[in-house]
Chain A
Amino acid sequence: MQFFGGSEISPSPPVPTATGNNAHMMYVFNRNGVCLLYREWNRPLHTLNPQQDHKLMFGLLFSLKSLTAKMDPTKYHFVSLSLHSFQHQFSVAVYNFLLMMRSAEKGNLGIPQLPGQGCSFHSFRTNTYKLSFMETPSGIKFILVTNPRTGDLRETLKYIYNLYVEYVAKNPLYTPGTLIRCELFNTALDQYVRSIA
């Protein structure tokens, strides 16, 4: 399911797909929910204070991932059977076997999923914005909020991930798990986001 292969270090930026305004804002979270980066370019409405906003965003994404993993139609779903139908010993053996098979079913809601495990969503759209989401194998989550007419931004997010790798992950002065304070990353990001509009 992961697709971060490729021999190029920094692929060329994909063809711009967005029409209209610039992107609204962007979030980067690590696997523990720490907000590593929050960039705002165009946000007329602030409903909550920044800490609550970040927590709510992370919580929403965590729950949505849980929901999509549960609703995945390609996973086998074990439907519970009533106990009274298992009267005979053979039936008991079958019942035990089926209980073992439960591990093959889709996880119950709320079970923590590893990055890349289970079906994940890549975007959702409302009438006022479109949120594009990408999670890397290391659990870094990239979220880009744009206008609703934007096309598929998966390639865009991959490019932004490459910018992150180049300017943040490879920066010897950056401590993983802390706020990103890399000027080069911010500049490159702003420049790129302006170009996709």
Chain B
Amino acid sequence: MAAIYSLYIINKSGGLIFYKDYGSKGRMDTNDSLRVASLWHSMHAISQQLSPINGCSGIELLEADTFDLHCFQSLTGTKFFVVCETGTQHMEALLKVIYELYTDYVLKNPFYEMEMPIRCELFDINLTQAIQKDRVALLGR
């Protein structure tokens, strides 16, 4: 079962609001994770400028030698991206599920301030459940 290494959520200005690593392979220093998130935000924006065709909405999948990076951007500009093993299936569906959890447990939380780091226990609990290996396989339905 292909593995997920880490998950990042970026707000619309490019700041990191949520970071979770799964295992030592995805682990990154706090400062480095902030830098990587802002770097990704800028790369995502630049890739739209280089499009030969109108209507580009940014990078959805980056394939490297040792990992893949899937990115989902919501209509409000919040980006969810996951670093996983090469060839992992159903990451787009997983990102949509994570977006749903975000809207349910973060945005609907009256104590959550917009664009701030996410500190919602229910979000963490449900996220862990969604990422469990057997659940990800079910997303292929």
Chain A residues in the interface with B (C-beta under 8 A) = 1, 24-25, 42-45, 47-48, 53, 56-57, 59-60, 63-64, 66-68, 70-74, 77, 79-80, 108-109, 119-129, 131, 145
Known contacts being A57-B50, A63-B39, A128-B53, is A77 close to B59, with CB within 8 Å?
no
Within 8 Å CB of B64, what residues of A? 68, 71-72, 119-122
B113 within 8 A of A: no
The answer to whether A124 and B62 touch across the interface, beta carbons within 8 angstroms, is: yes
User: Could you say which of A24, A44, A53, A73 contacts B83, with CB atoms under 8 Å apart?
Assistant: A73
Instruction: Give the B interface residue count (CB, 8 A).
Output: 38
Within 8 Å CB of B54, what residues of A? 44-45, 128
What are 23 A-B contacts defined by CB distance under 8 Å? A42-B52, A44-B54, A45-B53, A59-B46, A60-B50, A64-B62, A71-B69, A72-B66, A72-B67, A73-B5, A74-B25, A108-B32, A121-B64, A121-B65, A124-B61, A125-B63, A126-B56, A126-B60, A127-B55, A128-B54, A129-B51, A129-B52, A129-B56
Within 8 A of A (CB), among B1-60: 5, 24-29, 32, 35-36, 39-40, 42-43, 46-60
The answer to whether B35 and A79 touch across the interface, beta carbons within 8 angstroms, is: no
Expressed in whole angstroms, the minimum distance between the Cβ of B57 and any Cβ of chain A is 5
- Output the nearest chain B residue to A132 by Cβ-Cβ distance: B63
User: Could you say which of B29, B39, B43, B62 contacts A80, with CB atoms under 8 Å apart?
Assistant: B29
Within 8 Å CB of B60, what residues of A? 125-127
Known contacts being A73-B5, A79-B29, is A124 close to B59, with CB within 8 Å?
yes
Cα distance A84–B63 when bound, in Å?
41
Within 8 A of A (CB), among B67-91: 67, 69, 83
Known contacts being A67-B36, A72-B66, is A60 close to B61, with CB within 8 Å?
no
User: Could you say which of A53, A70, A74, A126 contacts B66, with CB atoms under 8 Å apart?
Assistant: A74
Cα distance A44–B55 when bound, in Å?
12
User: Could you say which of A1, A124, A129 contacts B53, with CB atoms under 8 Å apart?
Assistant: A129
- Output the nearest chain A residue to B68 by Cβ-Cβ distance: A121
- Output the nearest chain B residue to A76 by Cβ-Cβ distance: B24
Expressed in whole angstroms, the minimum distance between the Cβ of B68 and any Cβ of chain A is 9
Known contacts being A119-B65, A126-B57, is A56 close to B27, with CB within 8 Å?
no
Known contacts being A44-B52, A77-B28, A77-B29, is A71 close to B83, with CB within 8 Å?
yes
